[in-house]
Amino acid sequence: MSFWEKAQQLDRRIIYTVMIVILCAAIMRPVGLAISVNKETQMAYDAIDKLPAGSIVWLGCDFSAGGMPELIPTLQSVMIQGFRKNLRFVAGGMWNMAGNMAEVAWTAVSPMFPEKKYGIDFVNVGYKAGGNVLLEKMVSDTHAAFVGVDHYGKPLKDLPLMNEFKSFKDCKFIFGFFTGTPGERDYIKFVGGPLGVPIASSCVAVSVPETMPFVQSGQLVGLVGGMRGAAEYEVLVKVPGRATAGMDAQAFAHLVIILFIVVGNIGYFVTKGKSGKTT
C-alpha cells in the first residue's frame, strides 16, 4: 500500500490528537493576532452607544451552555459598555438556561462596577416556559409573563427597576443572544416589528449565514457573529477577555482543518489517478 493509500485510511485518533495539540498550544502560548472590527459588529456597538443614559435594555439570554464561549464574552462586553453609559439591564429569556447565563455575566461584570446594584441597575428574571408565547406575553405584561418573581424568587414589585419595566414597550433596545430556536426571528416577529424596538443580535458562528438577511433588511440593527464577533466587541469596549484569548486557538484550528481537507483531497486524486491507470 502506498503512502497516500495509507494516508486515506488514517486512524481518526491521530486526527483528534493533532487537533488537541494545536488547540492546547495556541491557548497556552497565544500569538496575539490583531483583530479588526467588522461592519455588523460596529453597527451593534454604535446602536448601544447612541442610547441615552438611564435607558432600559432587554438582554435576551436565549442560549445554552454550548454557546457560552461565543456569546458570554459579548454579553459581558455589552454590559460593560452599558454600565459605563449608565444604561440599565433586564435579562432573561425563553431558553431554560437563560437565568444561569445572565447570572454568569452579572457575576463577572458587577465587581467592575461596584456602584451598580441588583434591582436598580440590573435584574435577572430568568426563564419561563412558553417560547414565543412568553415573548408575546412580555409585550403586554412582563410581570405576569414571569409570574411576578425573578430568577431568585424575589417579587418583581420589590425591585425598583421592574417598576419601570412592565413590558417591552418600556425598553429602548433589545440585545439578544441566540443559539437556535426560539431566537431572533421571534423577537423580530413579536417585538421588533409590532413595537418598533430596535434589536441587535449576537449568535453563534453557524447561525450567522441565516441571520445576515435580517441585518440587510434592517430588522436587526447589528450582528455580533460567533467568537470573532465577541472578540471584536471586546476590542471596541477595550476589555480583552475570553473571546480575544480564544481567537488564536480558533485561527489555528481553522488552518488545521483546511490543511486536512487539502491533504485528504491530494491523497484522493493521487490514489484515484493510480487506480485509473491500473484499470
34 binds another protein (CB under 8 A): yes
Residue 255: strand, helix, or coil: helix
104 HSE (CA, 13 A, CB side) = 19
Binding to another protein, residues 61-100 (CB under 8 A): 64-69, 97, 99-100
Q: Which stretch binds another protein (CB under 8 A): 73-81, 115-123, 151-159, 160-168?
A: 151-159
Provide the mask over 203-222, with x wherever binding to another protein is found by CB under 8 A and - wherever it is not: --x--xxx-xx--x------
Which of 61, 228, 230, 241 forms a contact with another protein (CB under 8 A)?
228
Q: Residue 5, SS3?
A: helix
Residue showing cell 416577529: 189
Between residue 104 and residue 133, which ones bind another protein under the rule CB under 8 A?
Answer: 124, 126-131, 133
Write down the least CB distance from residue 31 to another protein, Å. 9
CA distance 103 to 79: 12
Q: Name the minimum Å distance from CB 95 to another protein.
A: 11
Alpha helix stretches (DSSP H) within the chain: 3-8, 12-28, 39-49, 68-84, 98-109, 132-140, 142-145, 184-187, 193-195, 208-216, 226-237, 242-278
87 or 109, CB closer to another protein? Answer: 109
Among residues 55 and 260, whose Cβ is nearest to another protein? 260
CA distance 50 to 48: 5
The CB-side HSE value for 70 (13 A sphere, CA atoms) comes to 24
Nearer to another protein, 20 or 120 (CB): 20
- Does residue 182 have a cis bond before it (omega within 30 degrees)? yes
Q: Which of 21, 25, 120, 258 binds another protein (CB under 8 A)?
A: 258
Nearer Cβ to another protein, position 173 or 225?
225
Q: What is the rounded distance in angstroms from the CA atom of residue 190 to the CA atom of residue 188? A: 6
Contact 224, 232 (CB under 8 A): yes
Q: What is the largest CA-CA distance in the chain?
A: 82
Contact pattern for another protein over residues 159 through 198, marking x by CB under 8 A: ----------------------------------------
**55 vs 270, beta carbon nearer another protein:** 270
Among 219, 226, 241, 242, binds another protein (CB under 8 A): 226
Count other Cβ atoms within 10 Å, centred on residue 35: 15
We find the least distance from the C-beta atom of residue 56 to another protein, in angstroms, to be: 21
Backbone angles phi, psi at 176, to 5 degrees: -105, 150
At 180, is the secondary structure helix, strand, or coil? coil
Which residue number, 8 or 86, has a Cβ lying nearer to another protein? 8
Residues lying near another protein in the complex (CB under 8 A) are found at 8, 10, 12, 15-16, 18-20, 23, 33-36, 38-39, 64-69, 97, 99-100, 103, 124, 126-131, 133-134, 136-137, 140, 149-153, 205, 208-210, 212-213, 216, 225-226, 228, 247-248, 250-258, 260-261, 263-265, 268
